[in-house]
Structure 1
Amino acid sequence: MSRGWSRMQHLREKKARGLVRTGLVLLAFLLAAPVSAAAVDLDFKEADIRDVLRVLGDVGGFNVVTDPAVRGSVTFYLQGMDPRQAVDLVVKSSGYGYTFVGNTLVVAPRERLADQFQEVRTAFIPLRHIDPEAVVPALEMVVQPAVVRADRVGRGVLIRGDAAQIRAAEAFLKERDVPPPLELDFVDADVRTVLSALARAGGYNLIAVPETQAKLTLFLRGASVREALDLVARQAGFRYRIDGNTIVIVDERDMPAAKAAPDAGTGPAVAVPAPPVVTKEVRIIPLRYITTQQARALAAMLLPPEDIWADEAAGTLVVRGSGARLDEVERLLAGYDLPRLRVDGIVVKEDDRLAVLSLDRRSHVVREGTTLDGITVEQILGDRVVLRTATGRLLELAIGGGE
């Protein structure tokens, strides 16, 4: 009896030890297993696949690189889906392939996917306007994991990466390496002074400054160097061209100058000064979304036609008048110069809501409170987005809907 009891006790202890070991192994496995990203709900209608992948990268916490050949629109509704599972469904259903390189998702046609990472090379990208050291941190985020270094001597950046990363760097820098908007005032300034200032602002050399006594009064706010040059050439009566980084005057017209009075036969000729130049405040208003003809028709409600010029090549409206009246013109145009809007999709992740908003065919991932070109996202609801324009107008757009 005693031996039987001892045997039963021994078996119970052995079983208990086995359960403890099993529990410890299971606990260790659970602790070692990665925690999956929170499930998300996604609702997209005819959205660009690249925008969808960018949103999935945002909510999933990974970078996204898409091959230039990746194109197409997708429509789907996914509920309670892990972001990486959603990537698998969206990419494969669109006929493309993908791979994760570290924390970066790479999407490309299947036959080109491997080739994009086989060749690593170093490229130098020259810069004209922006500081190489200042742009490197932002560029590194765009082309991770490529290596980026500033080259102050050569005034540019060096990038070591594959072809796709170098193309991304070139596109990123091309968009940002532009002259800053002008903030210049000229009051009764001669043409030489104005042209020299514009050439310096744009990083240009200047050849053959026109000989003229004309005076200009200009108030330049937010205009580009090219827009300002067009205005000066038109006002002063000459033409120019830009060869590389040089401004060349190619044609000069007659300018107001001192003229000699006709000899009446008595005494020397007397120089008659040119009549004084009547100056007005001139303002260049850049247009983003409406045409110059539309803007001209609107401005004609407040200004006479002779004080309005439309520069179709530069996409600007040049107006002349008092400061107060020109302020009215700018406010009027701001109310109509709005982008084309479309809501491509909405993503809900726990309490976080994101939307893909297309402004004039350029997509952006936005949250409530985001402001883009004067358009503020007021609310992101389950199936629509409420927006407020710069003039305070409220717009309510459903998924797939636009304004």
Structure 2
Amino acid sequence: MRRLVNFLVLLGVGLGLITSISYAQTTVFSDSKLISVDFKEADLRDVIGMLSVMTGLNIALDDDVEGRVTARLEDIPVLQALQMILEINDCQYEILDDIIKVTKIPILTQSFTLKYALASEVAELIKPLLSPEGSLKASEATNTLVISDKGINLEKIEEAIQEIDSPSFQLDTKVFSFKFIRADKTASLIQDQLSEVGKIEIDLSTNSLLVTDTSYNLTKLEDLVLGLDVFLPRKKIFTLKFALASEVSELIRPLLSPEGSLKVSEATNTLVISDKGMNLEKIEEAIQEIDSPSLQLDTKVFSFKFIRADKAASLIQDQLSEVGKVEIVLSTNSLQVTDTKYNFAKLEDFISILDVSQPREEKSFTLKFALVSDVEATLKSDYLNPGDEIIDVNVNKEKNEIVLASNSSTLKKIEDYLKELDVPEKNISKKEFSAEYLSLEELADLVRENLSSWGEIVEQDKAKNILIVKDTSYNLFKIGKVIEEKDVFASLKKTKTYEVEYASVSSLAERAKDFLSEEGKVVEEDEEESRFVVEDLKKNLKKIDELVKKVDDLEAQLTEKEYLLRYLTPQEAKEKLQLRNFLSEYGQIRLREVEKEEDI
């Protein structure tokens, strides 16, 4: 037996199929036998035969067992090694008495009929679980999956399907919007089709149903909704009493559904509308609201530039028709007039005669907290109206001053407004500040020096070299100006001399250039004096400080070099070097005798 084992092992090694094999012999049939093997593209049947011979195990193979083996295993139980070799070739073994039987792993087929999930959706989730030999077919008609795979894989797939095909996992919500019928009328029909976990909510504002049910049942409900929501037109004639049919038709047309139609008869002041019943109800409500005396009156606003609206109101009152009325709006110096369209034409001419220019004066306002540019925009867009006409505006951003030319009443109004506006509480805001040359710490110190009593630095972003500052709007503006003035290379540059003790001055100066800003430079290099001089920003000089500290170190700069002598002995060379002081105080000479070459 020993000779046969040796023969098989030698044969495998000679053919390059086995790199190495070792095992610990034992006479007991047990998984405690340890083996070490190294196979390369070996035939599976040959490998199993070698394992049988090596270990004394009785192994029987089915005819369809085949494959190749490339594996290197060190000191593992023989049965574990056998299992690993078989699994990579889709095979398995079982122990029958004292015989190990090896067979192909069978492919089984199982059908899964889903109750809650859609077979097509579950199929996509299950596909990644299939083995290379596995296959899957989905039937949407029966909502069924037919899966073929190894038994152990089928068990995992079955567990996954049971978890997915559950009400809690498959509950979904879908909105069904209706175009032609009322949602509340269809709710009772759909309720009967829900599963035991389904529920329904009615949204009358959008004429829709919010349905919660399983994915599978929602697909069936879609077909039911499509069958219910069909267009069934109704026709109705509307004869108007107060509004013009031609004008109302333009207002009503956007309310029609895509299938609806509208005809106008100006002779009879009539609208003939054909549409779905639900839409006709909305249209009828709209027409009843439009066709009323109150809605057919028009309203217009007249703004005054030069006279007070309350003074003009008494004069305009006499020009109104019997249904007209006037309202005074002092905040905008305007009148809101309601009357017939014809009477408005006469009122416009009358108002143009009343609203004539008045004497003007000039006044300046200096702000403490608000930003004058913001106030200028606010005055024009939100506060003043044509009756508060500003003839001239001059803004001095540096002084935060605004000079206005207007009539006295408008200037008094602006003065009161600015007193109310120009307070710290209404002008606190945040702003980002960054600098090109200042470090973040220097920038922060500069900002702190210029903060008002209401200001603070709320955030520092070291990565972006940005500060976020909260203060009054005007003070933020002033801080920005200070930063512009201070963030200049010429005023921030520093000059520093670096004394070099161990490293090469030129080499260290060259490396220092990597840390310089665009304006920074090495202004001097002196090898004899062992120093170099750098001009740059403080933050960059700190980086060069770290470089010099790291590089100009005795341990880092000590190097060793070997010289091969042809004519001098090592001792003679050492004495000459020491006599001429070529070595620094840290230098050392080590001698190593070598065979001396013949003098030429």
Task: Specify which structure has the higher proportion of helix.
Answer: 2
Normalising by structure 2, what TM-score?
0.16
- Rg bigger for which structure? 2
Which one has more relative contact order, counting CA pairs under 8 Å at least 6 apart?
1
Say which structure is richer in strand.
1
What TM-score, normalized to structure 1? 0.22
